[in-house]
Amino acid sequence: MYILGIESSCDETAAAIVTEDRTILSNIVYSQINEHEFFGGVVPEVAARSHLEKIDVVVNNALLDARLDISDITAVAGTCGPGLIGGVIVGATFAKSISMAMNIPFIAANHLEAHALSIRLTDDVDFPYLLLLASGGHCQLCVVYSINHFEVIGKTIDDSIGESFDKVAKLLGWEYPGGPIIEKMSIHGNDRSFLLPHPLCSKDSCDFSFSGLKTAVRLAATKCQTERDKIDLCASFQRAVTDVLVYKINQAIKVCKTVKLSAVVISGGVAANKFIRIALQNACEPYGLRFLAPPVHLCTDNGVMIAWLGVEKFLAGQFNDLNFSPMPRWPLSS
């Protein structure tokens, strides 16, 4: 079984081919960072045009790397949401075209579900497990009971973690994307130099809020007089975010005390942050729970996770009609 996965929900045009025995035959990602760097963030129209220009090359390269012909593909999975609708339409339409031309099944992939299940490709993890999905556009805690069965127990009421990293980096005068820059700079900073708020950490709720933390960083930045001050503020921000995540993971585990969790998982672009990974792993140890995260190169958006979701859906006999409509919003709980 060869499943082709196509991803185009934000600023990566990606395609990959995965088999049912968890073999990744190819993984091609074209990043649009250079196109969006000037603007300090993703511009939807620029992203959509770039997807349109690159998608055929990316898919063809995925086939070449896998040493397969398009006629060898068993089924095609394409991201149909959530995401920037222009890019989603490009990838979904391309996947549907392959399905129609080759007369193979089409699988409408939920980008969030692909992140949620990607850990089952790289690790032997059974349902149910607790998931922290943290990326540039999303931040939520949920219990993953099975394919199509998610219970969201906490989500952000304003900004996502990844977005907060990007905006703080921009505020401090650094490049886009902000996540890798802040992680790199924080290594050299004193993360106790600035006392920053920990929003919603005085409540039992599993919900998140980061807008107040960003405001606090903006105010603190006005007091930074040297580059060292900026680096210390950067480290203090990363520490504050991490403390919030640790607090919320503890709250979520308590909420799930009647559920026999097999693991605690973090996925999404923020999962690439090693400082956050270590802190969450340490938080899970007292509960005797495994902490898992995908390999760093599979944390950000990629075609592998879409292809693997396609494998899971194919084995479950879950296919979609070609009239399935792309959606800018597609919550996991639906």
Examine the domain organization and report whether 278 and 172 are in the same domain.
Answer: yes
Examine the domain organization and report whether 172 and 253 are in the same domain.
Answer: yes
The answer to whether 132 touches 245, Cβ cutoff 8 Å, is yes
The answer to whether 241 touches 213, Cβ cutoff 8 Å, is yes
* Mean of pLDDT values over 157-166: 94
Examine the domain organization and report whether 13 and 80 are in the same domain.
Answer: yes
Range of the domain at 149: 126-293
- Find the CATH number of the domain harbouring 235: 3.30.420.40
The distance in angstroms from the start CA to the end CA of the chain is: 29
φ/ψ (deg, to 5) at 77: -115, 130
What is the rounded average pLDDT for all residues in the chain?
96
Q: pLDDT of 176-189, one tens digit each?
A: 899 999 999 999 99
Q: pLDDT of 95-129, one tens digit each?
A: 999 999 999 999 999 999 999 999 999 999 999 99
Q: Does 26 fall in a domain?
A: yes
Strand order in the sheet with 149-155: 149-155, 139-146, 129-134, 264-267, 291-292
State the pTM of this model. 0.96
Examine the domain organization and report whether 276 and 160 are in the same domain.
Answer: yes
Cis status, amide bond into 128, omega within 30 of 0: yes
Examine the domain organization and report whether 79 and 134 are in the same domain.
Answer: no
CA distances from 197 to 58, 89, 90 (A): 43, 39, 41
CA distances from 10 to 64, 189, 303 (A): 24, 31, 12
Examine the domain organization and report whether 108 and 251 are in the same domain.
Answer: no
Examine the domain organization and report whether 111 and 78 are in the same domain.
Answer: yes
* Mean of pLDDT values over 288-312: 97
Q: What percent of the chain has pLDDT over 90?
A: 94
Q: Does 279 fall in a domain?
A: yes
Q: Does 320 fall in a domain?
A: no
Number of separate domains in the chain: 2
Q: pLDDT of 135-156, one tens digit each?
A: 988 899 999 999 999 999 999 9
Examine the domain organization and report whether 187 and 307 are in the same domain.
Answer: no
**Residues 6 or more apart from 51 whose CB is under 8 A from it?**
8, 13, 86, 87, 90, 91
Examine the domain organization and report whether 203 and 146 are in the same domain.
Answer: yes
Task: Report d(CA 179, CA 208) in Å as an integer.
Answer: 18
φ/ψ (deg, to 5) at 64: -65, -45
Examine the domain organization and report whether 62 and 183 are in the same domain.
Answer: no
What sign does the dihedral 168-174-177-179 (CA atoms) show? negative
Cis status, amide bond into 82, omega within 30 of 0: yes
| Residue whose token pair is 């898992």 | 292
The answer to whether 226 touches 233, Cβ cutoff 8 Å, is no
> Residue 334: is its pLDDT beyond 70?
no
